[in-house]
Structure 1
Amino acid sequence: MLWSSSIAVVAALSNTASAQLNDAYSPPSYPSPWMRGGNGWADAYTKAQAFVSQLTLLEKVNLTTGVGWEGESCVGNTGAIPRLNFPGLCLQDSPLGVRDTDFNSAFPSGMNVAATWSTRLFKSRGNAMGSEHGGKGVDVQLGPVAGPIGRVPAGGRNWEGFSPDPVLTGVAMAQTIQGIQDAGVIACAKHYIGNEQEHNRQAAAPYNFAYSANIDDVTMHELYLWPFADSVRAGVGAIMCSYNQVNNSYASQNSYTLNYLLKNELDFQGFVTSDWWAQLTGAASALAGLDMTMAGDQGLASGDTFWGSNLTAAVLNGTIPQWRLDDMVTRIMSAYYKVGRDTHKVPVNFNSWNLSTYGYQHPEANEDFTQINWHVNVQDDHAALIREIGGASTVLLKNTNNALPLNKPKYIAVIGEDAHDNPAGVNSCSDRNCDIGTLAMGWGSGTANFPYLIAPNTALKAQAASDGSKYTNVSDNYDFDAVTAAVTGADIAIVFGNADSGEDYITIDGNQGDRNNLTLWGNADALIAHVASINPNTIVVLHTVGPVIVEAYKNHPNVTAILWAGLPGQESGNAITDVIYGKVNPQAKSVFTWGKQREDWGVDVVYTPTSDPPQLNFNEGVFIDYRHFDAAGIEPSYEFGFGLSYTNFSYSNLVIQKQNPGPYEPTTGETSAAPTFGTIDYNAADNEFPPGWHAVKDYVYPYLDGPVPTGLPQDWPAGAQDGSPQPKLPAGGSGGGNRQLWDTMYTVSATVTNTGGVKGTEIPQLYISLGAPTDPKVVLRGFDDLILDPGESETFTYEVTRRDISNWDTASQNWVVSTYPKTVYVGSSSRNLPLSGALA
């Protein structure tokens, strides 16, 4: 299906949006909504109330405040309650495995598992990761990731998330969360919200402020908030707010995004934690909806805090009402009970700062030398799942004349550093802060140590030995003489290349988190061109963090196959060998669009801002990735949702059945008044350090460290301290939004048939045109993975919800189904949609 260009419409929208966004403003929204125990939280809420009712003021504050960087074993730790034998909470990275420990697994990236389009694998990966975190004593896994969603292709942390499409990301978030929390660990969805590039995400010279992601109301709801709504509906226990500003208000103290959108409209019942040192105010952030601060200190190992003693003082002098503090702690403990931490918890048995068996319990202070690591093996049989996801996430982009799969070739040459081991060792680069050897994960806090890493060269060499094939390999991307000798006369030449990125605190080859370009690293583009100039059967394998420019070798006649393997984790080599040799038939579909040139995406990283605070105007609205390519009439190298198989599939028999769920009813009524639990001792002397107390250096405590400030100006935002009943939002009332958004409006089905000669998995995709001239051509709404034998047919069925066919209306602050005609499309990619029908 070919699109006509509507770039004029997009340009007009962009110009209008730009004028609005230049003065972006985040309106105040108070008070912070208190949890009510709805949406499946009732039992946990009851247990939390009973627990919180026992606590003193100091104990309550201790649960909201981190103990400081390297204060305890985990990357984040809250204070303990020794009187009740409660050790505090352990929060630990990452979204692809347990960070900074040993005997753990290194899972494929979020981007990779999304490329499988398999809800079973989404949930299985989440459950395996959750079980590993739980086995190490972790209470909160810091993942999964929906921010960044992937607005800009060069964004450094896109690979930690899933896809620039909000529906695919939302489904992956929900399934991953359910998997993690079924394992008895709290999932923490992050980074909320608008965290779409690494440059200037925090204030750094010469800029005094972090960038402001300026997002209009429609774009917020229809794109960036969508997967977080799915996360809330899935029962996520925690959400981490981001470093950046949103409409010129910092995300960790943005009352509109936290109070109005998250806790009111989406009815989020869990707790909000800051990203590490993203909190920039004390009482104001509590009133704006922040429930926990991490790492607890104001800056890296600073020893001071916005909360801790200051939060204690703010409650004592009346700035923070008891109901607000009680709600913060009740939300934290409700998440704890909801996932069963009270029955699943084991003691923390690792130390993030030292892999040795013995070390300091308080590393920052070098105090309490003791056993800190028990080296507990939590890997179970997860290697098999990692290998399965690695194969199922490998996208076959090109396969001329059935060049793949291979069948016992006489002579195979494997070329490129990316096929080989890092000679210094798999974990020689801390937080993966180098690009040496094969790339299996990006860099930064979203990483985990490898228990091992099977390089492609290792697995392919073993396969060649099994087949009796001649095998040669070259790891040096610049030694073209050796490469020439290796590939000359080879039946198959497989060339590996990569492109890396990650978090901004690491810079590699001049790339500060975000990529500087969309080309391959380490001379790999030239290497591919050289091999293809010699060998007529050149296969290209790409380990990249996102799209790269492939036009030169895509169209080269000697490049017979291209595979994107992404960041597949520890079983990388085995997974790609499975695909190349046909043990696994590719099912993966690209989760992003591949442009022909950098400008094709229409948006990019702002590397050098022109103002302070830097203003990132999201002028494109919802038109990112395939939505932009479609609207602007740009032909991509490979479209969103594209991927080949070793077999073929056909689509037929579209059937649309209209359902009648009744009219949409906005939520009405008021909440109950804010509850309080237990009593607070307002005597300042009773909240001071006990006599003779030894304070660990730089450790954050809840005890008063001076007089309680009084006589403060009473100019807190209107309603911020008001615990009286509050009106419910029309679009709210249930987890993720109004419950009627998930009413089924239509049931759509289609027949998918395997018309080829081998068993394979097809990913049928359902898109909808919402009809308005300001809407994208189509938007993804549903998908499935169907395993079909040769000649077998199966029915793909999707229930179209009210939410699927709605737009956000800024005037009514609600979802509406417009009068524009709606059309449903079904096919194998965003641009190959042979079936269509009206949703009448």
Structure 2
Amino acid sequence: LREIYMPGFKAAVQQGGVLSVMCSYNKFRGEYLCSNAYLLTDVLKEEWDFPGVVLSDWDATHSTIPAAKAGLDLEMGTNVSDYKDYYFADPLIDAVRSGKLDKKVVDDKVRRILGVMFAINMFGERSNGSLNTPEHQQFALKVAEEAVVLLKNENNLLPLDISSVKSVAVIGDNATREHAPGGYSSGIKALYEVTPLEGLQNKLKDKVKINFALGYEKTSQEIFGKGVVYSPNPERATQLIEEAVAAAEQSDVAIIFGGLNHDFDTEGLDRTDMKLPYTQNELIKAVHQANPSTIVVLISGSPVEIYEWADLVPSILQGWYAGMEGGNAFANILFGDVNPSGKLPFTMPVKLEDSPAHAIGEYPGTGGTVNYNEGILVGYRYFLTRNIEPQFCFGHGLSYTQFAYSDLKIKESVKEVDLPLEVGLKVTNTGDRPGMEVVQLYVGDKQATVERPDRELKGFRKVYLSAGEEKEIKFTLDRDALSFYDSESSSWKAEPGIFTILLGSSSQDIRLMGEFNYSDK
């Protein structure tokens, strides 16, 4: 809890200065989160000194007095016919009037709500902002470009050369699908959305012929809270694959835009597997057989199983749901106007059952209760510590250039009074084009008295380097970077002993290693 799930929230509160925090639907230690005094008051409001408002997710409030005492400030979207029946409407008034709830509890909620309203200037004159300006659109393009992850690039198939490629097969339902409006509360009303096909058309114009084929089609419907219903048409699926193969055979290169959509990446629904839906696996293998120069761009917000064809296809990219400028970003990456620099923020397993919660048999739990018995070994920590080979590891992401790491600088002996500890290195772009590298720093505690991961990410830097350029990179490690949370004493501990420093391009691609002896004296 303290080491895996809380740090992001703590950083948002103490470093980001957020003004509101939402409590969700599930229970923690038997208590609904919107009635959980330990999380909302003990940790959030008292330990982290959060000054803002705690509001419920829609229809996530289940009580009046327990929720009010626990730290909920604002109830939202409760499924009742009349507002007065909200838990924090007439029932809250009655609780105060009857003496069951101290008025000071409500006063604190009012103070917090008014504090947020004043902080965002709701009571004063507010200047007009700007919406969807050309600057915003260029920023959206830059974000999409820097997010794309080059997973594989065998024989340097990418980037494509617009002067030598005469024809491109563009294949896949996701080549023409707009994703911005989907996913319920994650959906947005974009002014426009450039699809992958449109982005390639914008880039190539009449210089390169585009042969489009649907390849596969969406034959699913997501029913909120119930799941995904399929309506497959095998004859139609076979026809689409045949059309895609024909397009690939007529083209120099084939680009398949596959992955998921918001029938799967959405709220109110857990995916039951990590498989590519529809007939995508069959499509990709058939297209590759027809044209070995096949590129797959995965559009999704979460990992998928690709082991059936990952070794066959020479180039694979993770493109995500790339927003309103996504199509232009993909075109810029594919044809080398932009050098990819994204890194995987998760581990992509070979199969779902390789993941810790499934491997140890905890998911989906029993009777609505799941025990997190994987402990600290979540995500990449599990794969590295248990020596489970993933499809692609956490932090992985290739470039069209190469980077060399050198000159690690670190003290060999460190006392607590010496902290923060400085770690230095040099990174050189040894290739022939500019690029950005994400230098990742991992720490391993080799002599801890409790179970610890093989290594944990404790810092990263994204650095731009021209061809041949070298830069010095520095990290600082404070006591938190060496500590674990001791549940027995309810405190953070940095134990004396040997710590390993690992610097690399991913959690597995380690370029420099060193160690130091830490003393708490």
1:471 to 180, 185, 210: 210
RMSD: 2.3
**Aligned equivalent of 2:8:** 227
Q: 1:522 to 1:570 in 2, by over 3 A?
A: farther
**Aligned equivalent of 1:152:** none
Q: Distance in 1 between matches of 2:81 and 2:503?
A: 51
Q: Distance in 2 between matches of 1:778 and 1:300?
A: 52
1:492 to 253, 274, 277: 253
Task: Kindly provide the amino acid, as one letter, of the partner of residue 554 in structure 1.
Answer: A
**Aligned equivalent of 1:538:** 294
**Aligned equivalent of 1:784:** 461
Structure 1 position 442, deviation (Å) = 5.3
Matched residue SS, 1:554: coil
**Aligned equivalent of 2:85:** 304
Matched residue SS, 1:286: helix
Matched residue SS, 2:510: coil
Per-residue CA deviation, residues 188-234 of structure 1 (Å, 9 max, x unaligned), is: xxxxxxxxxxxxxxxxxxxxxxxxxxxxxxxx111111111111112
Whether 1:573 aligns to 2:248 is: no
Structure 1 position 281, deviation (Å) = 0.6
Matched residue SS, 2:212: strand
Task: Kindly provide the amino acid, as one letter, of the partner of residue 460 in structure 2.
Answer: F
* TM-score between the two structures when normalised by the length of structure 2: 0.88
Q: Distance in 2 between matches of 1:412 and 1:460?
A: 10
Report the number of matched residues: 485
Q: Distance in 2 between matches of 1:228 and 1:330?
A: 22
Q: 1:790 to 1:268 in 2, by over 3 A?
A: same
Structure 1 position 475, deviation (Å) = 1.5
Q: Distance in 2 between matches of 1:304 and 1:344?
A: 35
Per-residue CA deviation, residues 235-270 of structure 1 (Å, 9 max, x unaligned), is: 111110111000111100111111212122222221
* TM-score between the two structures when normalised by the length of structure 1: 0.55
**Aligned equivalent of 2:119:** 338
Structure 1 position 609, deviation (Å) = 5.5
Q: 1:633 to 1:393 in 2, by over 3 A?
A: same
Q: Distance in 1 between matches of 2:121 and 2:115?
A: 10
Q: What are the within-5 Å matches in structure 2 for residues 697-776 of structure 1?
A: 744-771=419-446, 772=448, 774-776=451-453
**Aligned equivalent of 2:314:** 560
Task: Kindly provide the amino acid, as one letter, of the partner of residue 318 in structure 1.
Answer: G
Q: Distance in 2 between matches of 1:608 and 1:749?
A: 44
Structure 1 position 522, deviation (Å) = 2.6
Whether 1:380 aligns to 2:133 is: yes
Matched residue SS, 2:370: strand
Matched residue SS, 2:357: coil
Per-residue CA deviation, residues 807-833 of structure 1 (Å, 9 max, x unaligned), is: 111232211102342111111100111
2:174 to 389, 402, 418: 418
State whether residues 417 and 497 of structure 1, in contact with CA within 8 Å, keep that contact through their aligned partners in structure 2: yes
Deviates more, 1:455-464 or 1:312-321: 312-321
Q: Distance in 2 between matches of 1:404 and 1:502?
A: 28
State whether residues 472 and 486 of structure 1, in contact with CA within 8 Å, keep that contact through their aligned partners in structure 2: yes
Per-residue CA deviation, residues 753-785 of structure 1 (Å, 9 max, x unaligned), is: 100000000000001112336101111010011
Per-residue CA deviation, residues 651-709 of structure 1 (Å, 9 max, x unaligned), is: 1111125898966xxxxxxxxxxxxxxxxxxxxxxxxxxxxxxxxxxxxxxxxxxxxxx
Q: 1:301 to 1:542 in 2, by over 3 A?
A: farther
Per-residue CA deviation, residues 165-199 of structure 1 (Å, 9 max, x unaligned), is: xxxxxxxxxxxxxxxxxxxxxxxxxxxxxxxxxxx
Q: Distance in 2 between matches of 1:300 and 1:760?
A: 57
Higher relative contact order, structure no. (Cα contacts within 8 Å, ≥ 6 residues apart): 1
Q: Distance in 2 between matches of 1:784 and 1:441?
A: 33
Task: Kindly provide the amino acid, as one letter, of the partner of residue 832 in structure 1.
Answer: D
Give aligned-pair identity as a percent.
33
Q: What are the within-5 Å matches in structure 2 for residues 394-405 of structure 1?
A: 394-405=148-159
State whether residues 84 and 90 of structure 2, in contact with CA within 8 Å, keep that contact through their aligned partners in structure 1: no
Structure 1 position 303, deviation (Å) = 5.5
Q: What are the within-5 Å matches in structure 2 for residues 571-720 of structure 1?
A: 571-604=325-358, 610-611=366-367, 614-657=368-411
Whether 1:814 aligns to 2:491 is: yes
State whether residues 356 and 377 of structure 2, in contact with CA within 8 Å, keep that contact through their aligned partners in structure 1: no
Deviates more, 1:536-545 or 1:600-609: 600-609
**Aligned equivalent of 1:93:** none
Matched residue SS, 2:85: coil
Task: Kindly provide the amino acid, as one letter, of the partner of residue 581 in structure 1.
Answer: F
Structure 1 position 480, deviation (Å) = 2.3
**Aligned equivalent of 1:257:** 39
Matched residue SS, 1:398: strand
Q: Distance in 2 between matches of 1:332 and 1:836?
A: 50
Q: Distance in 2 between matches of 1:535 and 1:438?
A: 27
**Aligned equivalent of 2:109:** 328
Q: 1:768 to 1:441 in 2, by over 3 A?
A: farther
Q: Distance in 1 between matches of 2:181 and 2:28?
A: 29
Q: Distance in 2 between matches of 1:797 and 1:260?
A: 36
